[in-house]
Structure formats: C-alpha cells, structure tokens
Structure 1
Amino acid sequence: MSNLLKHLGGQRQYGVLMHVSSLPGPGSSGCFGAAALEWIDLLADHQVKVWQVLPLAPTDNTGSPYSSPSGFALNPQFLDPDQLQETSAVDGFSTWCQQQRFWLKDHCRFMVLRRRYGGAPWWQWPKPYARRHRQVIKEFDRAEAVAIDQEALQQWQLQQQWQGLRAHSRERGVQLLGDLPFYGAHDSADVWSRPGLFSLNPDGSLAQQSGVPPDYFSATGQLWSTPVYRWSRHRLNGYRWWLRRLERQLELFDLLRLDHFRAFAGFWSVPGASSTAEHGEWLPSPGKTILKRLSSRCGGSLPLVAEDLGVITPDVDALREKFDLPGMKVLQFAFEADASNAYLPQNFASGSWVVYTGTHDNATARGWWQDQSDQVKQQLQNLLGHPVESPGWELLRLALSSTADLAVVPLQDLMSLDDSARFNTPGTASGNWSWRLDQPIANLRGHMEGLQQQGQLYGRGRSSG
C-alpha cells in the first residue's frame, strides 16, 4: 500500500480543488467563515474526502499566493469579521505568540515597516531598518508596540478560525490538502529577517535568482526573480528554517503539496542581474537531507505530494520514490504525444499518483478543449469510444477510473465553466487569482451528486472502515 493510500484511509478517493478566496460571501474575498463550513459539509455529504487549496499565505501585489511576503503567515483577507475571538482571551494569544516566536515578531515588524514606507521593498528602506541595526529595531519595537501587537493578534485570529475549520473538516472526514511554494518573495519578512539564508548582495539585491532553463515552451526560460537559497548557511543550523516552515504547514493541513518539487533535487540558479534565465546553471539541493529530517519528526510517513510536472530528471524521480511521495498527473497533458505519453491513465505505473483534470495553472477543461487541434480531439474521442460532449466530465471520468490513489477536479471543471473562470495563466501578471463562485454553495449540490455517482462507480469515496 502506498504512503498516500495510507493517509487516505486505505481506499482510492476523490477531491475538489478550490481556493479559499473563491468561496462566495459579502466581502471582497472568500474567507474562513460560514461559506467555508458549508462547503466542507457539502463535500462530506457527497463522500469527497479531500479539499485542496492554494497557499494560505498573504499574496503579492498581483494577488499571487505563490510570491508571498511571508513563508509562515496567513492571509488577512481570509479573516471572517463575524467570528472574531474576544481579545480578552489573552492567555491563549500569549501562549500562541510564544509558540510562533520563530517567525511571528519579525513578520509583524516587517508589515508595520512596510506600511510606514509606503509599500517600498525592504532594501529601499532607510539603511538602519533595511540592515536591522539592533538598537534601531529595539527602539522601533518600543515605539510601535501597539501596531506590532495588532499584527500578531490578527494572525492569531486567523489561526483560530482556520483551526476551527480544520476541526470541523476532521469531524466530517474531509482532509485538507495545502500547497507550499519552494521559493519565497525577495520582498518578504523571511529574506529581510534572515538575509544570510538567501543569495543576496550586501545591498540586499539578488546575487543569484531562481527560474527554469529554456525549453520547448520558452526560448529564454522562466525567470522568477526570487532569491535562491544559500544552502551552506542552512546546513550550519541543521536546516532549521526549512524544517520550521514545513512543520508550520503541517500544523495547518492534513496533506501538503510541494510546489516545484524538482528543486529539492537540484535547482536552476541564474545571476541576479540577468534579464532572462538562459545563462544559469544546475546546482544540487539538500532535499534528501531535509525530507529525511522531516520524516523522522513525522514518524517516518510524510503526508506530502510532489508537484513533479515539466521536465523531470532521474534524480527527481529517485528522490520522490525514496520517500514514497505521490507525484502528479494532469490529463490535459495526456494528448500531446503518442500512446506512450506518461500522463495517459493506462500508462500510470502504479497508484502512487494524484491525477487532475487540470490545475490552477491550466485552462478550464472546457477552455482547453476549445483550443485543441482536431488531432487531439480525435485522440481523446478514440480513447473514450464516443464523442466528447462535456470535456470536464469526460476528463473527470478518466481520472476517477484510473489507478491513481487520489483524483482531484477543479470546481470550474465540475461546473463546466469556460476560460473566463480560469484561475491563473502562468507568465501573465494581470487578470489572475480572482475567480470567485458567484452563487450559493447549496446550488452546487447537483454537481456534487454527479461527482459522487461517478466516484462510486469507479470504487472511490469509501472509507476503510
């Protein structure tokens, strides 16, 4: 039995991908409120065992949760004002602050300073603050004690609300699958407070930055403008920052997707001044050591999913297999080559996979289908044995019928929405991360009933008991 199957209770299951921000409600974003509870109940009522979300971290100025000012904090937009805890419960708050002292105080300082300097990146702040001169920070803590405490209180409230949702999901038998980016933003509390852990120049600019090399899709590669890690410094303290970051996520979720998993084996490092990713080099990562230490703290069984999409080398597969981590299969990629395509369900070598109709980075299934060539359309129809009427549901049935331990469908595909509901288009900076459900949760019952029927048809959704 695979590691993932053990975490799923010994039975193949199915789940739904929808970020918290997409939940309906009166505010500008979905939140940890009544709609989230109703959503969990809807999933549980239809034997959906997994709710997958994107990172819960604060977003950057484009709305992306994958480029966050914090590797530990929660997004204040998700705070439900209708269920704020009484601040008089100071014992719980103080205890939590002490438990989270590794990151919390620096995050709060960073957010207060960022407001003071009009949102400017930290390396453009006055040097005593950018370089964290001890006496200046001490005086700042005293002068801004109230503002710093307010930031901490907000994070505590978010923690309380999310843990309430998690307790409810556990009671209803729904597991929460989170997401962790490999890199953090350059302009973040983590880089500001621990610059020695990142590849920076003395002035705070990037010495080496992250990305991926040129490939079939991009002649110049992808440049992400986030600092790569200075692994020699991490090694000196036993990779403490990385382990704390992973443990923080496992406090929040039952399962965790590791974005850009290939960087745990080796990463593409590009000079900080470069404007393209062409002139980089592959360097080794200590992912094996980090995962081994995390495994020992988790009792030997890691509740992780490896995002291993794209060009994957044997060392990445070896690392994933060493820790028995499931990889990902995306059915929209299954028709880009011949019958040996690794994303075709009949070619899954084992059950240790999470199979998706598409991810947050893909077009909706309906939008994808509209853009496909006649050759691809014919290939899918030949596989199915009948004409395609509803692309999302056809791909969903393929996912559910596969050997993969977990099949996940974005809500947009369940609803057969077109590409106006696409959540993100990689390589673009606007128009992303904003799709939101524009109807009550109860209106989704018909879609969920269809999902449950198909899941049961293919032997998914049952518990081991």
Structure 2
Amino acid sequence: MPFPRASGILLHPTSLPSRFGIGDLGPEAYHFIDFLAHTRQQLWQVLPLGPTGHGNSPYLCYSSMAGNPLLISLEVLCDRSLLYPDELHDLEHFSPHQVDFDQVIPIKMRLLERAASRFHETASDEDKDALVQFSEECHFWVDEFAFFMALKNAHGGAGWTEWPSAIARREPEAMAEWREKLSSDIFCQKFLQFEFHRQWQSLRQYARDRQIQIIGDIPIYVAHDSADVWAFPHNFMLDHDTLAPALMAGVPPDYFSETGQLWGNPTYNWEELKNRDFHWWIQRINALLGYVDIIRVDHFRGLQAYWGVPAGEDTAMNGQWIEAPGTELFETVRQKFGTLPIMAEDLGVITPEVEALRDEFEFPGMKILHFAFGGGSDNPYLPFNYVPNSVVYTGTHDNDTTIGWFDKMPDHERNRLMEYLGCLSPEGIHWTMIRLALMSVANQAIVPLQDILGYGSDCRMNTPGKSDGNWGWRYQAEALTDEMRDRLRWLTELSNRTPTEG
C-alpha cells in the first residue's frame, strides 16, 4: 500500500546540537522532535545508525544491526549516576558547528567505558535483568558484535583479516580462549548497545506520541571489516585463502566516471543466502525495524542486478552485471513482516527490470529536484512527471545544499529552472524549492534541514568521492527560529501534508 501524504526533514542525529562535540540522543533530540511536531511534519529521516568505521561514514559500519555508541547521551548517563557532570568538561570546548571525530571519539569512548564499569558495579537487579533481556532478544547479532569490537580493540583497531588466523577463521578453541580473556570489554560493548537501545527507544516513543515516523537507511552492502562478514562469512563472496573480497561491489563506468566506482565491499553469496531462506537478511531487517518505522533501501537496483568486480582490480571497469534474487528476497520478507514499510533509492541508470521489482511490491521511488533541470521535459525528476507513490527531495545527504547547488548551476540549467518556476520566492531559492517539493503530487516530501536553514555548500553533509571532511556538519539550536517554524508549518498545511487529528 502506498504511504499517505506527508512531509518531513532529513537530519542525522550526529548533526544535532549538544555541548559535547557531537549530536546525541539527549535533550536537543527531543527539542528537534518538538520542532517537527510544531511544523506539522510526520517524518524524520536519519542515515544508518550503526557504529561507524573508517572515515566516520554511516554507510561503512562495523555492524549492520548495532547502534552507534557515539550517539549515547552523556547527560542521560549523568541522570542515571553512571557519569558525573564534572567528568564531561573535556568535551565542552569543541566547535558547535562541526564534529571533530578524531578528537571527540577517544574522549567520549573513555567516558562510555567508565559508565559501563559503573553499571557493572552498581546497577540494580532490575537494570541487570533489563540488560539480560536485551541480550536475549538481540542474541543473533549482539554477542558476535560485542566480541568483534572487543577483539578489534585488543588488536589495536586492526581489521579482522589482520588478526591471528585462528581467531580470524573462528576456530572454536581460539574463540573460547579469547572470549574468556576479553570478557570485561565484551560486557562493556553489550552495555553500550543496551544503553543506545534504551535511549533510542525513549526518543522513538516520544516521536510516535507526536505522530512522527522515523525513516532509516539500510545500505545494500556491509563493510568488509564488520562483525557481519567476520561472523557470517558464508553469506559473502570471500577468497578462502586471504579472506579478502573475491567479488567486490561497485558501479560501472558512466557519464560521471570513466572508470566507474569500486566500493570494495564484498558482494553477497546469494545462493547461500537463498539456501538459508535469507535468514541473515530477515534478522537485519528485523533489527532495523526495532529502530525505525520505515526503511529506505540504499542502492535498491543492486537487489535486482549488481555490478560485481573480481578481486585484484583497481577500478570498476572490468566488472559484470549479475542478477540478484530481489523478488524472492522481498517475498520472504513479506511473509515474515507483512506489508513492507520500504522506500526504494532508485537513483541513477535504472532499467525496466529494476522498475518492475520496485513496482511489484509498491515501493515508492525517489525524485530529486536538483536533478530536474538538466534535460528536456521528459526528465523524470520534473514534478509534472511524478506519480503519487514516490518521495520527493530537494536534495539528499549526497547533494550540495540547495543554495550551494543554485550558486554553482550551469547557466543553461539555471535558465531552465527560472523558466520553469516563473519567479523566485522572496525568501530565497531554498524556500522556492521547498515549496515546489511540498506542492508536488509525490506522497512524501523530505527536505534536508540545511535547506530549511538556508545554508550554503560549507554545510553539506557528504561530498561523494571526497576522502575527508564529510559527515561532520551540525546546526545550533538557536538556528530554528519562530519565523522558520511558522513558514514551514504554513507551507505544510497549504500542501495538505498534515497529520490526521485524533
């Protein structure tokens, strides 16, 4: 069933204000939900919530099912007497505009480890029982993830293929020995997942009480250096001798890149996954639905056919398209969960087969206004070409902000944009494009917070292909003005995207 008409805001929790160097699940997250409710939004879209690895990208996580401990609110831990306010001072001198991951991570992780130690020593029986219950409910992934992170810490952060062969290959005797040796850190890692879960569920309920649903991303691939690949190697195309990816993910050469994109993630062993009734995928989706209400499948086209590149290649040029069992996967998922609350990221060169898979399950596809003005009237991103069962964005986390996009537009695209619009809103191009999205026939309209704030290119979240400086943008609480609230609320009501009363 298509989703009802609604609108929302794209904002990752790391971008929230806080006094401690990085956005978290503390008071400002609740204030942001209040802002959503006041402006009559019904959707909050976040990026993947997992523990980030290399480059701090939420699309390269150490687990596809765990939560990111860096999002845990230290203030909430103080409220539970697991930390004390005077212990937080080292985090209070960082910039409120940008996350300095290299500086923030070691300090915050030390504090989180201290909180875990205090929990172990002082927790009530009720809290200890709650941790046990959480571990039992999440046993499919939390035990292996906690062990994986403890092993990674014990080996100086090295990737799992660099660990001693016996533990990299999960030999039972070595596994038992290391579990005993690292029991304290394993407990710490489980506690952090328990605390993330507890804080996130409280925030999620606060949103639900205000008729706000959370949209979360599921990246199609997982990082090679992850608990998923180490714990379930049979699900991935790995070289038996080196444990490196035998077949790597990517996209072929196109207009944007003569050599394509080589992502380096291992592709799936789909035959093995099918033989196991997609059990790992079912568990992954089940874990994510414990965090969010709607799932956006990133790189959806890879579930119909994916570009596989053999090991040893330096570019994606020598790959090939390989069919994936998307229909069987989604049929299995539907049998387990019923109606699927899924949106399809169907950007790029999409074939009729990909469209057929999307439409077979009635998944809404994505429409990006920044892509609408570079071609003719048949451009699928122009609003008059939309179908209602779609999701329109001004831009995504991978796009420039609307003001940055407008400033850098080629003259022919800007001329076409102006001919299409007729005029600009006196409030600026960002509000013009927000209005265009909200007034479209697309059932969902989602706007990055940077566009509502009217920020330029220095505030974009991610620049694909750029190796550093991504994912760190943050806003300040005072940026959400009453005038902004009133304007967004008025446009939302005018475009008939308000929640049902009662």
Tell me if TM exceeds 0.5: yes
Alignment of 1:235 with 2:234, yes or no, is: no
Report the equivalent of 1:4. Answer: 3
Give the TM-score, by structure 1 length: 0.96
Give the CA deviation at 1:464.
6.5
Deviations 1:384-415 (A, max 9, x none): 11146522111111111100001011000011
Using the alignment, how far apart are the partners of 1:330 and 1:91 within structure 2? 47
Report the equivalent of 1:358. Answer: 395
The one-letter code matched in structure 2 to 1:357 is T
Give the CA deviation at 1:358.
0.3
Match of residue 367, structure 2, among 303, 325, 329: 329
- Whether the 8 Å contact between 1:265 and 1:316 is mirrored in structure 2 is yes
Q: Secondary structure at the match of 1:252?
A: coil
Q: Secondary structure at the match of 1:3?
A: coil
Report the equivalent of 1:384. Answer: 421
Rate the CA distance shift 1:333–1:340 in 2: closer, same or farther, 3 A.
same
Q: How many residues align?
A: 455
Report the equivalent of 2:97. Answer: none
Alignment of 1:451 with 2:451, yes or no, is: no
The one-letter code matched in structure 1 to 2:11 is M
Report the equivalent of 2:136. Answer: 98
Using the alignment, how far apart are the partners of 2:477 and 2:134 within structure 1? 36
The one-letter code matched in structure 2 to 1:253 is V
Using the alignment, how far apart are the partners of 1:341 and 1:391 within structure 2? 21
Alignment of 1:124 with 2:158, yes or no, is: no
- Whether the 8 Å contact between 1:266 and 1:283 is mirrored in structure 2 is yes
- Whether the 8 Å contact between 2:54 and 2:60 is mirrored in structure 1 is no
Give the CA deviation at 1:288.
1.1
The one-letter code matched in structure 1 to 2:350 is I
The one-letter code matched in structure 2 to 1:55 is P
Report the equivalent of 2:18. Answer: 25
Using the alignment, how far apart are the partners of 1:431 and 1:82 within structure 2? 27
Report the equivalent of 2:182. Answer: 144
Alignment of 1:344 with 2:382, yes or no, is: yes
- Whether the 8 Å contact between 1:32 and 1:162 is mirrored in structure 2 is yes
Where in structure 1 do 4 or more consecutive aligned residues deviate above 6 Å?
none
The one-letter code matched in structure 2 to 1:395 is M
- Whether the 8 Å contact between 1:4 and 1:325 is mirrored in structure 2 is no
Supply the RMSD in Å over aligned alpha carbons: 1.3
Q: Secondary structure at the match of 1:224?
A: strand
The one-letter code matched in structure 2 to 1:384 is L
Give the CA deviation at 1:39.
0.7
Alignment of 1:259 with 2:298, yes or no, is: yes
Give the CA deviation at 1:195.
1.1
Match of residue 324, structure 2, among 285, 303, 324: 285
Using the alignment, how far apart are the partners of 1:101 and 1:386 within structure 2? 57
Give the TM-score, by structure 2 length: 0.89
Report the equivalent of 1:371. Answer: 408
- Whether the 8 Å contact between 1:366 and 1:416 is mirrored in structure 2 is yes
Rate the CA distance shift 1:274–1:388 in 2: closer, same or farther, 3 A.
farther
In structure 2, stretches of 5+ residues that fail to align are: 81-118
Using the alignment, how far apart are the partners of 1:273 and 1:344 within structure 2? 41
Using the alignment, how far apart are the partners of 1:335 and 1:99 within structure 2? 49
Give the CA deviation at 1:438.
2.7
Give the CA deviation at 1:82.
2.0
Q: Secondary structure at the match of 1:4?
A: coil
Q: Secondary structure at the match of 2:8?
A: strand
Give the CA deviation at 1:165.
0.5
Using the alignment, how far apart are the partners of 2:382 and 2:184 within structure 1? 56
Aligned pairs for 1:185-200 within 5 A: 185-200=223-238
Aligned pairs for 1:149-160 within 5 A: 149-160=187-198
Using the alignment, how far apart are the partners of 2:499 and 2:276 within structure 1? 44
Rate the CA distance shift 1:445–1:137 in 2: closer, same or farther, 3 A.
farther
Give the CA deviation at 1:305.
0.5
The one-letter code matched in structure 1 to 2:494 is L
Q: Secondary structure at the match of 2:239?
A: coil
Deviations 1:250-308 (A, max 9, x none): 11111110000001111000012110000011111112111111112222x11111000
Match of residue 62, structure 2, among 58, 63, 69: 69
Deviations 1:79-137 (A, max 9, x none): 01222356321111101101111111111111111111111111111111111110111
Q: Secondary structure at the match of 2:209?
A: helix
- Whether the 8 Å contact between 1:24 and 1:440 is mirrored in structure 2 is no
Using the alignment, how far apart are the partners of 2:385 and 2:16 within structure 1? 35
Match of residue 262, structure 2, among 211, 223, 227: 223
Deviations 1:190-230 (A, max 9, x none): 11111111111122111100000000111100000100001
Using the alignment, how far apart are the partners of 2:229 and 2:485 within structure 1? 43
